[in-house]
Amino acid sequence: MSTAEMLVSTAQNLPRLLQMQRDSFMQGAPTYDERMRALATLRDSLRTHQEELLRAVSEDFGGRAREETLMLELFPLFDQIQHARSHLRSWMKRRWVRSSWFLLPSRAFHQYQPLGVVGVIGAWNYQVYLTLGPAVDAITAGNHVMLKPSEIAPRSAEVIARIVADCFPPEYVTCVTGGPEVASAFASLPFDHLFFTGSTRVGRMVMQAAAANLTPVTLELGGKCPAILHESYPMETAVHRIVSGKLFNAGQTCVAPDYVLLPEGKEAEFEARVRRRAASLYPELKENPDYTRIVSHRHFERLSGLVADARAKGARLVELASAEQGSLEEKVFVPTLVFNPTDAMGVMQEEIFGPILPVVTYRTLDEAVAYVNSRPRPLALYYFDEDMSRINHVLERTMSGGVTLNDCIYHLAQHNLPFGGVGPSGMGHYHGFDGFVTFSKKRAVMLQRRFSSMAVMRPPYKNRRRLFESLLKMALR
CA dihedral over 219, 437, 414, 68, signed as positive or negative: negative
**What does each C-alpha distance from 171 to 122, 138, 142, 190, 447 come to in angstroms?**
20, 15, 13, 16, 35
Q: In what order do the strands lie in the sheet with 402-405?
A: 316-319, 336-339, 356-362, 259-263, 226-229, 380-384, 402-405
Catalytic residue among 167, 175, 225, 254: 254
Amino acid identity at 62: G
Amino acid identity at 64: R
Q: How far from each other are the two terminal CA atoms of the chain, in whole angstroms?
A: 70
* Nearest residue to 142 via CA among 432, 455, 436, 452: 436
Kindly tell me the number of DSSP H helices and DSSP E strands found in the chain.
Answer: 17, 16
Helix (H, G, I), strand (E, B) or coil at 320: coil
* Count of CB atoms situated within 10 Å of the CB of 443: 11
Relative to beta strand 402-405, strand 380-384 is parallel
Q: Is-contact 81 42, C-beta < 8 A?
A: yes
**What does each C-alpha distance from 72 to 126, 127, 160, 227, 341 come to in angstroms?**
8, 11, 17, 20, 30
| 220 labelled catalytic | yes
| 254 labelled catalytic | yes
Q: Is-contact 158 166, C-beta < 8 A?
A: no
Continuous H helices in 364-444: 365-373, 388-397, 432-438
Q: Is-contact 369 397, C-beta < 8 A?
A: yes
Q: What DSSP line would sit under 251-313, residue for residue?
A: G--TTS--EEEEETT-HHHHHHHHHHHHHHH-S-STT-TTSPPPS-HHHHHHHHHHHHHHHHT
Catalytic residue among 73, 171, 220, 351: 220
Beta strands in 66-136 (DSSP E): 95-97, 107-114, 117-121
Q: Which residues are catalytic?
A: 220, 254
